[in-house]
Amino acid sequence: MSTSEFNLASLRSRLSHLPIAGIMYHEITGSTNDDALQWLDQGAEDGSLVVADEQTSGRGRMQRKWITRKGTALAFSLIFRPAKQQYLSLYAPLGALGVCAALEQQGNIQPQIKWPNDVLIRGRKISGILAEAAWQDDRLKGIVLGIGINVASTAVRLEDGFLFPADSVQNCLGKEIDRMDLLVEILRSIFFWRQKLDSPEFIQEWNNRLAFRGEEIRINRPGQGPLIGEVLRIAPDGVLWIRQKNGREIPVLAGDVESGMINTMRPEE
Ligand code: BTN
């Protein structure tokens, strides 16, 4: 197994140079996003962090499960209290950019972002991101940005039943990766890009890392029929544009990207 033991003291010491307001650490918890949403309610400051070694009911997008086994993965949630509401949809890609930048530091790989925010290495998913906004009436209380990464090869098991191919950082790089080093680098990169959320460089960086660009994909949309088209770009407002067979370019606001030969759903769903 690859990886640093986590505890509150080691997290505090390794993250002390970053603008992290407070840290909560759990050896085991249900979901760090649930913990963070609760902490947000109780007044957690902008930049607070929840980390867990193991999750028993980790959540993914579209009500999917996310499995985090003890000692094998990264599972953490950041709490933000954005001053402006207009960039809310950019927090999930902010997480994906942070993960990509940190992974690149680990070796000779080019991680990509499967719109809207899964991180792939060589077409296999190694990280998932779940951003959740908390509201009180029409006032935004904050955003919880939850990130899960399969670090060690033991994080991913065949019996988990992924139909979209999943993999681990260790398998992709062919070497052991230290979880703590990876966490520090991801957080550093997230805090860097957060200051540039409203910049053209942010969208450019997202486009540079966009998976399946120029390829035909299928997008499954909740409660609507699928869309098929060629991936064009992410627009400045964070919306994905595709070109349909008839040449029409259309924006896609929500959905799940599937490439021609792969399916993103787990069998039980
Ligand atoms: C997805 O791929 O659909 C998103 C998965 C997000 C998983 C992370 S792990 C840390 C945080 N806590 C959760 O319950 N979910 C996110």
Strands (E), 137-263: 139-150, 216-220, 227-234, 240-243, 249-252, 256-259
Confidence check: pLDDT of 193 > 50:
yes
- Domain boundary at 168, 190, 208, which? 208
Which H or E run contains 191? helix 179-194
Report which protein residue has its CA nearest ligand 1's atom 9: 148
Residue 95, ligand 1, Cβ within 6 A = no
Answering whether pTM is above 0.85, one says yes
For residue 61, the ligand 1 atom closest to its alpha carbon is 3
At 172, which CATH number? 3.30.930.10
- What is the overall mean pLDDT for the chain? 90
Three-class DSSP category at 157: coil
Residue 44, ligand 1, Cβ within 6 A = no
**How do residues 7-38 score in pLDDT, each as one tens digit?**
999 999 999 999 999 999 999 999 999 999 99
Confidence check: pLDDT of 269 > 70:
no
**DSSP character string of 56-87:** EEEE-GGG-EEEE-TTTEEEEEEEE--S-GGG
**Residue ranges making up the domain that contains 222:** 216-264
Number of domains composing the chain: 2
Ligand 1 geometric centre to CA of 145 (Å): 9
- Is there a domain that residue 114 lies in? yes
Ligand 1 geometric centre to CA of 246 (Å): 37
Same domain, yes or no: 143 and 197: yes
Which H or E run contains 128? strand 124-136
- Is there a domain that residue 221 lies in? yes
- Is there a domain that residue 1 lies in? no
Same domain, yes or no: 103 and 200: yes
Q: What percent of the chain has pLDDT over 70?
A: 93
- Is there a domain that residue 245 lies in? yes
Q: What is the pLDDT of residue 163?
A: 55
- Please answer whether residues 126 and 168 qualify as being in contact, where contact means their C-beta atoms are separated by less than 8 angstroms: yes
Same domain, yes or no: 145 and 70: yes
Residue 136 structure tokens: 């009180």
Which of 28, 59, 65, 266 for a ligand 1 pocket mutation test, highest count of atoms within 8 Å of Cβ?
Answer: 59
- Please answer whether residues 37 and 134 qualify as being in contact, where contact means their C-beta atoms are separated by less than 8 angstroms: yes
Question: In terms of DSSP bridges, do strands 48-59 and 23-29 run parallel, antiparallel, or are they unpaired?
Answer: parallel
Same domain, yes or no: 192 and 246: no
Residue 32, ligand 1, Cβ within 6 A = yes
Residue 33, ligand 1, Cβ within 6 A = yes
How many C-beta atoms lie closer than 10 Å to residue 145's C-beta? 24
Distance, in Å, from the CA atom of 121 to the CA atom of 103, rounded to the nearest integer, reads 9
Same domain, yes or no: 154 and 203: yes
Same domain, yes or no: 222 and 199: no
**How do residues 66-108 score in pLDDT, each as one tens digit?**
989 999 999 999 999 998 877 889 999 999 999 999 999 998 8
Same domain, yes or no: 106 and 221: no
**How do residues 106-160 score in pLDDT, each as one tens digit?**
988 999 999 988 999 999 999 999 999 999 988 999 999 999 999 998 888 776 7
CA 142 to chain CA mean position, Å: 17
Same domain, yes or no: 195 and 256: no
Same domain, yes or no: 176 and 197: yes
Give the model's confidence band at 222: pLDDT under 50 very low, under 70 low, under 90 confident, else very high. confident
